[in-house]
Chains A and B, each alone.
Chain A
Amino acid sequence: MNPVQAVGRSTLGLLRTAGSVAIFAGRGVAASVSAPWFGGQMARQVVAIGYLSLPVVGLTAVFTGAALALNIYTGGGRFNAEQIMPQIVALGITRELGPVLAALMLAGRVSAAIAAEIGAMRATEQIDALHTLSTDPFRYLVAPRLIAAVLTLPLLTAVADTIGVAGGFLVATQTLGFSGPLYVQNTWNFLTSWDIQSGLIKAAVFGFIVALMGAYHGYNASGGARGVGRATTHAVVSAAILVFAADYILTSLFTAK
């Protein structure tokens, strides 16, 4: 195959996949915004995606906040600007690192789990069984996961924001000699509500991406156990890449405001 053919084939493949994901997303959204809803499934997914992700998101946030504080303190020291560290930590966490890191943790934990579960259901004909039992798999499997991820990732991000800032606070007050009350006051006075809101909006979009990639790759898994493994890998990788891409696009939109 000559290089032009190879490029053409890859481009067509990419377009085909993009179209397939778009159709899947459309069906998922349609099933999410119209009745009937499966309340029990949704509650289970809120627990699995949201509540059970709290430890990993919390730990990631506290260490990232602490490391960020140290880096900004060191970098700021090069031009005698160490004192702006609390503000930069707060801004970095709320606008960027809180939502992105929470989404990446979810991509690893949740997207993989969704792809594996739905992929295994595909391999064992459980999805076909749903059809024969007059139940739309998009309503029963996809919509609850999309809704749960869109609702819970902003909440997880709010937790990550708080814990991340607390991580910076701990390092600043325990090892860098900052005054505790002053640190809190500087952070509070500096942050605007938009800093927090923009991070939470990002989180909702990231939640949709993470759940969508898990569901899409799981639903289309083929080839038995190997296919499920492949679907899991693709779900995590594609979710992570799309989170970064969406992060850039949303940040561009928010900063152009």
Chain B
Amino acid sequence: MSAPETPMLELRGVRKAFGDKVVLDGVDIPVARGRSLVIIGGSGQGKSVTIKIAIGLMAPDAGQVFVDGQDTSQIRSAADRAAHNARFGMLFQGAALFDSLTIWENVAFRLINADKVPRKEARERAVEALSRVGLPASVANLYPIELSGGMQKRAGLARAVVAAPQIIFFDEPTTGLDPINADVINDLIVEQVKRLGCTAVSITHDMASARKIGDEIAMLHKGRIVWRGPAADIDRSGNAYVDQFVNGRADGPIKVEV
């Protein structure tokens, strides 16, 4: 019998509190290499905190984060940290494009500033990445403010994938988009993740998006994973929390706190 494969990303016993409010209460999330996990859950249930801890933007109060078997808390030197960060890509909820830079400079940011790729080559790669997400070369010299929300998301996706990361995080990728643009972004995410063969972790409360981009879905509620299973099983989970969330019912075990 072969040994179980080391997860590409694993949160083990992660706990995080802000003052008295416990946001994550011992969360365990292993994600296998090349798989796409979507974490769903209501607002304020710790989805964003989970992703921030996974990517190293926030330190957990307790627990560990492993990337390809390596405990990230043991990374000490700046060079090792930079090499570690180079494995990640992230599409932010609001795209988080740098508004003082043009679109191509945004997309090529890591190539120019971290990987020291010559500007000419970086520009070519940025334009190529833009074309992969359906943006014409003519937008390369525009500034983020000149693009619509959907186009900004596409540019953010191009920035996330241009350096071929091993793990990509998607933070509410369809929030703020109309259903058609949201579906386009979902398709692009699936396409890019498949092309790169990378591991993906997304957080969303958009069920259409979760069904489309996830191989697996996990539900986070009150700081714990209350259900996890194949995306195809989401409608027959047998879990009261998942059923209420997926069907968008006010009645059920999840009480909206006001």
Segment of B87-95, B188-196, B223-231, B248-256 engaged in the interface with chain A: B87-95
Interface CB pairs A-B, < 8 A, 7:
A125-B94, A129-B96, A131-B57, A132-B57, A133-B113, A133-B114, A134-B113
Please determine whether B57 and A133 come into contact, CB atoms closer than 8 angstroms.
no
Q: Which of A124, A125, A134 contacts B110 (CB 8 A)?
A: A134
B94 touches A135 (CB 8 A): no
State the interface size on chain B (CB cutoff 8 A). 25
- Residues from chain B with a CB closer than 8 A to the CB of A134 are 82, 85-86, 110, 113-115
Residue on B nearest A120 in the bound complex, by CB: B99
Smallest CB separation, B128 vs chain A (Å): 18
- Which residue of A is nearest B109, CB measured? A133
Interface string of B108-128 (1 = CB under 8 A from A): 011001110000000000000
Bound-state Cα–Cα, A166 to B85, Å = 55
Interface residues of B (CB under 8 A from A): 52, 55-57, 78, 82, 85-86, 88-90, 92-94, 96-99, 109-110, 113-115, 159, 169
Number of A-B contacts (CB under 8 A): 51
Q: Which residues of A contact B (CB under 8 A)?
A: 38, 121, 124-126, 128-129, 131-136, 140
Q: Is the CB of B114 within 8 A of A128?
A: no
Q: How far is the CA of A132 from the CA of B92 in the complex (A)?
A: 10
> For residue A136, which residues in chain B have a CB less than 8 angstroms away from its CB?
78
Do A124 and B109 have beta carbons less than 8 Å apart? Answer: no
> How many Å from the CB of B91 to the closest CB on chain A?
10
Task: Say whether B57 contacts A128, CB under 8 Å.
Answer: yes
Report Cα–Cα, A133/B89, bound state, in Å. Answer: 7
- Is B55 a contact partner of A132 (Cβ separation < 8 A)? yes
Q: Give the chain A neighbours of B90 by CB distance below 8 A.
A: 129, 132
Q: Of the candidates A126, A128, A131, A140, which one forms a contact with B113 in the assembled complex, judged by CB atoms under 8 Å apart?
A: A140
The verdict on A38 contacting B113 (CB below 8 Å), with A132-B88, A134-B82, A134-B86 known, is yes
B114 touches A135 (CB 8 A): yes
Of all chain B residues, the one with the shortest Cβ separation from A123 is B94
How far apart sit A26 and B249, CA to CA, in the bound complex (Å)?
52
Task: Tell me the minimal C-beta distance from A128 to chain B in angstroms.
Answer: 5
